[in-house]
Amino acid sequence: MPSQADDKRQAAREVIDILHEISTLLNTNLDRTELSLCVSLIENGVNPDALAAVIKDLRKEAGASRGFATEQQQQQALPE
């Protein structure tokens, strides 16, 4: 017989599954682990708008870093 803790874990998995489906439809590119972390942060008082802004900024910085690295690799590949 499932315990109360098992029931809670199952319910949490179902919530994350639903959120992941919504996330996929909205093209957020967040996986289940990332969604779980976001939910946990929000449940612990983090402002959702601020969290979204931080995620956008981090992605922008990561994209810029990748672009910089790609540009450097292309320059190194050019014959002198």
pLDDT tens-place string over residues 13-33 = 999 999 999 999 999 999 999
Predicted pLDDT at 72: 56
Task: State the Cα–Cα distance between residues 20 and 14, nearest whole angstrom.
Answer: 10
List Cβ neighbours of 59 (8 Å cut-off, separation of 6 or more): none
Is residue 43 a part of any domain in this protein? yes
The answer to whether the beta carbons of residues 35 and 58 sit under 8 Å apart is: no
Tell me the whole-structure pTM to 2 decimals: 0.69
The domain of 66 spans 4-75
Is residue 63 a part of any domain in this protein? yes
Q: How many domains does the chain have?
A: 1
Is residue 80 a part of any domain in this protein? no
Task: State the Cα–Cα distance between residues 16 and 1, nearest whole angstrom.
Answer: 24
